[in-house]
Amino acid sequence: DIQMTQSPSSLSASVGDRVTITCRASQSISSYLNWYQQKPGKAPKLLIYAASSLQSGVPSRFSGSGSGTDFTLTISSLQPEDFATYYCQQSYSTRPFTFGPGTKVDIK
Amino acid sequence: QVQLQESGPGLVKPSQTLSLTCTVSGGSISSGSYYWSWIRQPAGKGLEWIGRIYTSGSTNYNPSLKSRVTISVDTSKNQFSLKLSSVTAADTAVYYCARVVYGDYHDAFDIWGQGTMVTVSS
């Protein structure tokens, strides 16, 4: 399995803050990296695919970067609706597809 | 727009088979560069990919579940299904169905069902 790690596991931030979440793969996954946002009691929502492509309808304050083993999700100016848990997911290997453990973003 | 809806029993006894169906509405299950997946999430924990199916019937499963999982598709009903046999309490989770869009450098879960809670208990 390709193991995915995320840091930090949680963070507290204020509205308007710039927030950066890191995801690392246990081996190179090229740009096969997606980011999801999940709010309590809801299904995850796709934010970023192929490491840096913004999913249709997702605000431009979300951006992704990286390739190989190290990736970053950045929220340029945190909004009240962005408080949620964020997951990265690799789609380089189906043996199996794997998700990171999540990063919870809450209100400072 | 395309929507997915999971259905099936919310309570399954240990050692029995969990069976869920995902109904696709607002579009054909057979159209476009898509395939279909199941993902689960135990309460308070992370996401685990279970497997995927193309409308051709080709499947891939998570090796950790492969011996117990079957995913099938019924294009005439615009549905795909999950069967997980010999369940234990460790299989208690919210089960999601999802559409997967694929292309250059990505296979991404772009549309999700709302999820259905399945509890394994006697």
- Nearest CA to B39 among B120, B108, B121? B108
The CA distance from A63 to the nearest CA of chain B, in Å, is 16
How far apart CA B36 and CA B97 sit, in angstroms, is 7
What pLDDT is stored for residue B33 in this prediction?
A: 85
Q: What is the pLDDT of residue A108?
A: 85
Q: Please identify among residues 38-97 of chain B the ones whose CB lies closer than 8 Å to any CB of chain A.
A: 46-49, 52, 60-64, 96
Residues of A in contact with B106 (CB under 8 A): 31-32, 34, 49-50, 53, 91
Q: Torsions phi, psi of A95, nearest 5?
A: -115, 60
Q: Is residue A77 scored above 90 in pLDDT? A: yes
Pick the more confident residue, A94 or B67. Answer: B67
Q: Measure CA of the first residue to CA of the last residue in chain B; give whole Å.
A: 39
pLDDT digits (tens, 9 = 90+) for A11-46: 999 999 999 999 999 999 999 999 999 999 999 999
Q: Encode pLDDT of B79-110 as tens digits.
A: 999 999 999 999 999 999 999 999 887 899 99
Q: Quick one: what percent of chain A has pLDDT higher than 70? A: 100
Distances (CA, A) of A22 to A83, A105, A106, B45, B72: 17, 13, 16, 19, 36
Please answer yes or no on whether A91 and B106 come within 8 Å at the CB atom.
yes
